[in-house]
Amino acid sequence: MFDKLLDNVRYFFSPEALDARIEPDFEFIAANKRNGHISPPLWDTFEFRFYYVGFAIIVPFMFRTVIHVTNESNENYNKFERYLSKGWLFGRKVDHSDIQYKFLREHFFPMLKIIAVYLAIRRATAFISRSITRLRFDSIFGLIFVFGLHGVNAFKIFFHMIIMYATVHVFQSTRPVATVLTWAYGITSLFLNSKFRSYSFGDFSTLLRPLDSLPTGTIKRWDAFYNFALLRLLSYTFDYLENLDNRRRKVTTTRTAYGLDTHVAKRREKWSRNNRSASKKSHNPHKVVTLNERERLVAPLSIEEYNFFNFTSYILYAPLFIAGPIITYNDYIYQSYHTLPSINIKRISIYMLRFIVIVLTMEVFSHYIYVDAASKVMAWEHNTPFELSMIGLFILNITSFKMTIVWRFFRLWALVDGIDAPENMIRLIDNNYSTQGFWRAWHRSYNKWLIRYVYVPLGGSHRRVVACLAIFTFVAIWHDIQLHLLKWGWLIVLSFLPEMILVKSFTSYKHKWWYRYISALGGVINIWIMMIANLFGYCIGYEGTVGMLHDMFCTMSGFVYFVITTYCLGYTVLIMFELREDEKRRGINLKC
C-alpha cells in the first residue's frame, strides 16, 4: 500500500506527468542495456544516506537564513518595507514588488471568468451549429480577445500579420527569397515596435487620427505580446514553405526538424497509407492514426490548410496568445482536427494540481521571503557572502516560479480547450547543473521552436557555435532591443564552450569510478557561475559582486563558507545525476 502511494507521488512530480510528449523510449532502454549505460540505483547506498542527512540540515538552514535577512528582525527591513502589502496568509505582509507577478495576481480571477465564458461559448456554439468549426471559433474569439486586450492598438498587430502573410505568398515560388524576406521583416518589426510603440495613429497620417480617440484596451503594451505572435508568424511561414517545397519535389524531404531523416519520411508515408486504410475500413474519412510530436511537426497537411482564415486562427488563438507556450502551425492545425490521447481528465487533473501546488508555494514564498523587495533598494548592508548568495538563489527561484505559473496557467487553459502545447518548464531552477541543460529546460517550447527554425537550418551540430550565436542574438533582440542584452546573449554562447569542450574530452572515461565526481565538480562550477551572474545582473551589481568575491577569497570566514558551500553543491549535483539516471531506467532522456 505504502509502495503504491510512493509510486503515485513519484509520478505526480515526474516530468512524464507534465507533458505527454515525455514518454518511455523502449529502444533507448534496450540500447543502454546493451551498452551497459544503465547503472544500478544508488538511493539506498551509504553514500546517498549521508547526502540525505546533509539535505535535512542544510536546506532548512538556507530557508532560515534568507527569511532572517529579509524580515522584520533584520536591520535593513525598513529600507524596503514600503514595497510590501497586506497579505492573506498567517497575518503576514506579501512582497508585491515584482510588477509581472503583481499583474498576474490582480488579474487571476478576472482571467478565470474569461476562461469560463470562453469555454461555455465554445461548447454552446459546437452544440448549436456544426458550421462553426473549431478553427472558425478560434479566429472569431481571437479577434474579440485581442481587441479586448489592446483596443485600437490591435490594428498594429494586424498590420504586421498582413505584411508577413503577403510576403510569404508573393514570394512563395522562391523559398530562399521568401525565407530571407520573412526573417528580415520579422526582426525589423521588433525594431519598429521599439521605436514607434508610443506613437499615436495621427503621427503617421492625419487620416488615421480618428483612431486615437478609440479605447486602447486593458493592456497598453501591445508590443510585448507581439513578440510571441512573431514566433507564430514565422512558424506559419516556414511550415508553409516546407510543405510547398516537398510538394514541388514530389518526394518527401530528408531534411526536417530535429535532424529527422528518411526514417521519418517513411513514417509520414506510412501514416498517410494507414489513414486511407482506416478510413476505408471504418467508412469514416476522419479516422486517422495519431501522430507523435515529431510527426506532427512535419504533418503532410493539405496545401489548402495554409489559408488566411487558419492563419488568423493560429496567430490569435486566445489561450496561447499572451505568453504561449509556443506550438507550431502544423501541430496546431493537426490538433484542431484530431484530439490527442493526452487530452483526458486524468492528465489534465494532475496538471491542474501541479499548477495549484506551485501557486501556493509561490504565495508562501511571497509572504515569508522578501528578496524581490530587498533587491529594489539593494538592502543588504552588513550581509555575509552566504546571506548574499542566498538572496541571489531565492531571487532565481522566485523568478522561476513566476514564469512557471504564467506558462502553466495558459497551457492549462489550452489543455482544457483541447490543444496540447509543449510544457515550458520541465525542470525548476534548483534541478539544473548544466548551462546547456538549463536552457533546454527553461522556456522549453521556445527552445524547440529555435531548434526547428534556426538551429537545424543553420547546420545544427555541424556548425554549433555559429548556430548558437545566431540563436542567442535573436533571443536577445526578441526579449528587448538593448545592447546589454546582446552582450548577455553572446556571453551565454561563450559560457557553453568550456562545458562542451570538457564533456567531449571526458566522454571516453564514463566508465571510470571517478567520472561521476569530476562531472559533479563541473556542475558545481556551472552553478557558481549562474549564481554570481544573477547577483551581478539582478541583485547587488558590480560593486556588490566584487565585494562579495573579496570576502569569499580574502577572509577566513568567507573562504570557509566557499569551501562548505562547494561541498554541499557537489552532493546536490550528484543527487541530480541520480535523478536523471532514474529517468533513464524508465526510458526517459530529456538531455537536460
Catalytic, out of 37, 68, 107, 479: 479
> Which pTM does this prediction carry?
0.88
| Segments making up each domain of the chain, as ranges | 101-337
Whether the pLDDT of residue 256 is over 50: the answer is no
Question: 194 near 161, Cβ under 8 Å?
Answer: no
Task: Say whether pLDDT at 19 is over 50.
Answer: yes
Predicted pLDDT of residue 288: 54
The yes-or-no verdict on residue 130 having pLDDT over 90 is no
How large is the average pLDDT for residues 115-143?
A: 90
Which residues are within 8 A (CB) of 258 and not within 5 positions of it... i.e. 6 or more apart?
294, 297, 451, 452, 456
Mean pLDDT of 311-319: 96
pLDDT grade, residue 261 (50/70/90)?
Answer: very low
Higher pLDDT, 288 or 387: 387
Does pLDDT of 253 surpass 60? Answer: no
By C-alpha distance, which of 409, 542, 520 is closest to 101? 409
Among this protein's residues, is 479 annotated catalytic? yes
**Residue 312 scores a pLDDT above 80:** yes
Q: Which H, E and C letters describe 392-457, residue by residue? A: HHHHHHHHHHHHHHHHHHHHHHHHHHCCCCCCCCCCCHHHCCCHHHHHHHCCHHHHHHHHHHHHCC
Cell numbers representing residue 264 in the block: 521519418
Confidence of residue 263 (pLDDT cuts 50, 70, 90): very low
Torsion angle of the four alpha carbons 94, 98, 102, 105, in this order, in degrees rounded to the nearest 10: -70
User: Residue 81: what pLDDT?
Assistant: 87
For residue 93, which phi and psi values (nearest 5 degrees)? -80, 160
Torsion of CA 352, 357, 363, 368, to 10 degrees: -170
Q: How large is the average pLDDT for residues 120-132? A: 85
What is the H or E stretch that residue 84 is in?
strand 84-86
Task: Out of 21-25, 32-36, 511-515, pick the least confident.
Answer: 32-36
Question: Is residue 231 within 8 Å of 325, Cβ to Cβ?
Answer: no
Please, how many CA atoms are within 13 Å of residue 291, restricted to the half-sphere of its CB? 27
| Predicted local distance difference test score (pLDDT) of residue 160 | 94
CA distance 263 to 399: 41
Find the range with the poorest average confidence among 28-37, 199-208, 404-413: 28-37
Nine-digit cell at 23? 514518454
Per residue in 535-568, pLDDT (tens digit) is 776 666 777 778 888 888 888 888 888 898 899 9
Of 381-395, 443-457, 561-575, least confident by mean pLDDT is 381-395
Query: What is the mean pLDDT of the segment spanning 80-100?
Result: 88
Residue 296 CA to residue 146 CA, distance in Å, equals 27
d(C-alpha 203, C-alpha 122), whole Å: 39
> Is the per-residue pLDDT at 280 higher than 50?
no
Nearest to 163 by CA among 223, 235, 237, 240: 237
